[in-house]
Each structure stands twice: as structure tokens, then as C-alpha cells.
Amino acid sequence: MSSRVPEQPHRAGGDSDGYTREVQRPDVVVLRTRQYGEIHFGGFGHSLRECDEVALASLSHIGKSYRITRELVDGYIDCSTVVSQSHWVGGAVQTPFIADSQLKAVNASDVSTSEPLPGDSIYAYRSARDSPGRRYNHVALVIGPDSDGRLWAIESSDPIGVRLTPVDDLRSGGGIRRFCPNPRRIFAGGEWRKYVEAVPKLGRLGSRLTANYHASERMHRGTDIYCADSSLVVAPLSGEIIGVERVRGVVHRIHLYSDTCGMMCTVGPLEPLGAIAEAGSYASVGMILGRTTSMGSHLGCNCMLAYRRRQYLHVELWDSTESMPSPAPGLSSEIARRVVPHSEFRAVSPIYAMKLGLLNDCFSR
């Protein structure tokens, strides 16, 4: 069995369906439930497609109770966060956090009801206004067929919590959507896997920034990677340093432009190490730019309680050939369209770019 198969999760209480899991063969996961008995899933070996990685990541939420939350809360999860978190951890794929927003997202494609893949999302209603309470839509994520060919999905609902449900039993009035840019492609492991685990829900591209902006809200244009104190930060691509911003003595952002790929990358905040590179100088991949600093918590990050004592690095990746409406060179227009979480943004998910080999690691060894 792949080392990425999730362990039995924390049980948060509530009316869960009593799932237990075991591995019978290197590529088979068995789920035992009170309602459906044993469910056997195959195909979860070492060489997983992107869509399978997403489905496999979703199994880590089995046993959690239902609760609507903004940031992740141990032992609890809502239906749309099952979708967003499974895509993020399983594939570094960005999705909006609310079911209705996922339905409208430009980085997803509609899927025929006869052609769902693992990781596809099934929406109960065309809009939250069509739901019984007219407040919330509902979504489930496709796991795949069991050994008997029956198609299953995972969902979180009140009061049961996270459970498996046959796809035929789901309401699907909102249709099926696919967020995986390369659903059938097999990706090698890499540093991107450790980065997704270090990014909180509200630290991702497209999140609504609320902390440190008083009454105003801004869309987050990058990804916040939480890290050990005073981590060395290195240039993730080679290019000219075209700008250095400073706030209260801290290097708030460094802007790197690569004329070979046409990308602009922004990293920060940093504490300078000696004579930090200035605007107009050249940085090669792996060149040390500085160290992370605790001053970052005052420079525009969602500092949730669980992370208040953590340092972070903010990373942005843009197409710099125009005024940001075009996908980054090196990504096909279709892939770039899907790694953009909201229509008002044309930034590229930096961690997905690492997965594609377009951006180097941000920290030194």
C-alpha cells in the first residue's frame, strides 16, 4: 500500500456510521460500515493518478463530525471543505471553499453524469437558493467504484458527519464538476507534498483576507507557507530582482522576473542576511534571499489562533508578459485556467507549479 494512504482518523464523536478501515492487499482499501457492511476499493497502489490522489486524501476525513467552519478544526469538517481539502492535500489543486462558489469556479469543468472520475464533485442543487433552507448547497466527492462496480462518494452532513454514500443515492441537481487539471496523469513525489501540509485553509490563493485589514477584506493573491522559525528562503526561479519592498525595516516582498519563462515570482516577508540582493541584481535558483521573520504576522496574513506563533512565507506566481490576464507560459491555457481559483485572479498556484516542475523549492536544505 502506498505510504500516502491515510491512517485511521481522529474520531470527533457525533452520529458517525462506525467506519473502520484495513488493507488486505497492497492496492485495496476495505471500509466496514454498519449500514453497508464491507466496501472494497482497489486501485490505491503506488502509482496513482491525480484524481485517485484526491479521492484517497478524502478518506482521511472519515470519522469526523459535521460543522461549518472557516479554518480547519480538528475532528470537524463540512461538505465543501471535504472537497477543497481533499483536492489540496491530494493534488495541490486549489478550489473555492463554499459549494456555491465551487459551482461557479472558472478552474473547474462540467462533467457528464455518465463519465465521473474519482475526485469529481457532485452538487445537490443548482444554487443554495434551491436548497430546503435556501442558505447552503451540498456537495459530495466521488471515491470511485468498489469491487462490485458500484460507484461511491464521500460527503459530510449534519448530524451524521462524514460518510460514504452510493452515487445513485445522491441528489445531483447541480451537476458534476472536475477540478483536477490532469486527472489521469501520474505525478512523481516531490517537495510540493510537504508544502500543501504547511498551508492553512485561509492561507491559500484566492482566500478572503480578514486579519490586519480592519473592516475591509481583500483577496489573497498568493499562498502562505508556514515554516520553522528563521527558515532560510531561497530564490525559487532564476531571474532579475525587479523590486524590493520594505516595511518597518523588514523586507516585505522581493519580486523576481524570469525572462526565460516570462514568470514573475514574489516572496516575503524576509529578514535580510547581510547585504541582501537589491533591485537590478540577478538571483539564480537556490540563492539565499534571507530568513523568515515573525514580523510577517503584521504584514497581511490571516493569523488564525492555531498559527499565531508560526512564521510564514508568502509566495505569488504571475504571468508577467501582460497585465495579468493570461496564463503563465509553460502551462497550457487549459491547465492554467484550472489552477486559478477565481475569475478575478490570473495568478497561478505556486505549489501546483512546483508539482509541474515550473517552480523550485522556496526553502534551502
Average pLDDT over residues 117-146: 95
| Among candidate residues 128, 150, 178, the one where a domain is terminated | 178
- Domain shared by 74 and 174, yes or no: yes
Q: Tell me phi and psi for residue 364, to 5 degrees.
A: -80, 160
Burial class (CB in 10 A: 0-12, 13-18, 19+), 236: buried
Overall number of domains in the chain: 2
For residue 270, give the nearest of 237, 241, 294, 306 by alpha carbon: 294
**pLDDT of res. 331:** 44
Mean pLDDT of the chain, nearest integer: 81
Give the CA distances from residue 238 to residues 18, 246, 257, in Å, rounded to whole numbers and listed in that order. 52, 22, 8
Q: Tell me phi and psi for residue 131, to 5 degrees.
A: -75, 160
Alpha-carbon span 101 to 10, nearest angstrom: 29
| End-to-end Cα distance, the chain | 29
- Domain shared by 41 and 158, yes or no: yes
| Among candidate residues 113, 145, 178, the one where a domain is terminated | 178
Average pLDDT over residues 62-71: 90
Q: Which of these ranges, 18-32, 66-80, 221-235, 307-321, has the smallest mean pLDDT?
A: 18-32
- Given a cut of 70, whether residue 299 has pLDDT beyond it is no
Give the model confidence (pLDDT) of 311-336 as tens digits: 889 999 887 544 433 334 444 444 44
**pLDDT of res. 79:** 97
- Domain shared by 163 and 200, yes or no: no
Alpha-carbon span 177 to 156, nearest angstrom: 18
361 falls within a domain: no
- Domain shared by 49 and 161, yes or no: yes
- Domain shared by 25 and 93, yes or no: yes
Average pLDDT over residues 181-204: 91
Sequence-ordered alpha helix ranges (H) in the chain:
50-58, 79-91, 99-104, 192-197, 333-338, 350-355
Burial class (CB in 10 A: 0-12, 13-18, 19+), 264: buried
Give the model confidence (pLDDT) of 166-182 as tens digits: 999 999 999 999 999 99
**pLDDT of res. 300:** 55
**pLDDT of res. 195:** 94
Q: Which of these ranges, 18-22, 69-73, 137-141, has the smallest mean pLDDT?
A: 18-22
Give the CA distances from residue 273 to residues 110, 254, 315, in Å, rounded to whole numbers and listed in that order. 49, 14, 19
What is the CATH number for 50? Answer: 3.90.1720.10
What is the CATH number for 196? Answer: 2.70.70.10
| Among candidate residues 178, 211, 243, the one where a domain is terminated | 178
13 falls within a domain: no
59 falls within a domain: yes
10 falls within a domain: no
**pLDDT of res. 21:** 54
**pLDDT of res. 70:** 83
**pLDDT of res. 51:** 96
- Domain shared by 126 and 202, yes or no: no
Average pLDDT over residues 270-293: 84
- Domain shared by 142 and 233, yes or no: no
Alpha-carbon span 159 to 172, nearest angstrom: 20
**pLDDT of res. 346:** 58
- Domain shared by 30 and 138, yes or no: yes
- Given a cut of 90, whether residue 58 has pLDDT beyond it is yes
Please answer whether residues 204 and 363 qualify as being in contact, where contact means their C-beta atoms are separated by less than 8 angstroms: no
Q: What domain range includes position 98?
A: 20-178
- Domain shared by 295 and 210, yes or no: yes
7 falls within a domain: no
Sequence-ordered alpha helix ranges (H) in 178-226:
192-197
User: Percent of the chain having pLDDT more than 70?
Assistant: 77
11 falls within a domain: no
* DSSP bridge pairs for 250: 247
